Amino acid sequence: MLPDLTQYLWILWLALAFLFVIIELLTLEFTFLMLAAGTLVGGLGVNLLGGPWWLQIGAAAALAALLLFTIRPLLLRALHRSSAPVLMNVDALTGMSARVVAPFVDGAGSVKLDNGETWTARLSEGIADAALGVGDRVTVAAVRGATVEVAPAVPPGSEKT
């Protein structure tokens, strides 16, 4: 005689909720937290009230979906509200300091950025090649494809003597 396995379904609901909480701790996106809440409240709640297995699964799925589409966006918005946007990749290069590593000829040269990358560089308009020599400090004014547009870190004529 086999026992009715649906009487042990509460163990499955607890284990599933525990698994979802562990995954949430690894991802930190509130997705698996909503699934865990749906599992606990919907699945385990209906189980403890004596509902059939199909109603438990339906309640868990419906509650998890409801939480995913209503509560999760509110939590994410509240979490990201206070954080300032962080510039990444090429966007972070504008305004960065650099040092000239190859002399500028016809407006083209090479610079080493403060982050350690060496880039092909072009001078901003109105700056002569002779204004910058090897070792001079420049600032990235813009990124144009694989070339950075640079300007002297200290504008010409304003150096202290």
Residues 63 and 30 in one domain: yes
Residues 107 and 75 in one domain: no
Rounded CA-CA distance 1/24 in Å is: 40
Q: Which of 48, 81, 114 marks a domain boundary? A: 81
Tell me, yes or no, whether 122 lies in a domain. yes
Q: Which residues contact residue 159 at a Cβ distance below 8 angstroms, ignoring those fewer than 6 apart?
A: none
Residues 61 and 119 in one domain: no
Could you read off the pLDDT of 59-91 as tens digits, one per residue?
999 999 999 999 999 999 988 887 777 777 888
Tell me, yes or no, whether 23 lies in a domain. yes
What pLDDT shows up at residue 13?
95
Residues 21 and 75 in one domain: yes
Q: Domain containing 107: what range?
A: 89-152
Q: Where are the alpha helices (DSSP H) in the chain?
A: 9-27, 31-37, 45-48, 53-81
Residues 55 and 106 in one domain: no
Count: domains in the chain = 2
Q: Is the pLDDT of residue 125 over 80?
A: yes
Cβ-contact 101, 134 below 8 angstroms:
yes
Q: What is the CATH number of the domain that holds 140?
A: 2.40.50.140
Residues 133 and 110 in one domain: yes
Residues 23 and 49 in one domain: yes
Q: Which of 28, 58, 81 marks a domain boundary? A: 81
Confidence tier at 155 by pLDDT (50, 70, 90) = low
Tell me, yes or no, whether 134 lies in a domain. yes
Residues 19 and 72 in one domain: yes
Confidence tier at 161 by pLDDT (50, 70, 90) = very low
Residues 76 and 111 in one domain: no
Tokens matching residue 2: 């086999």
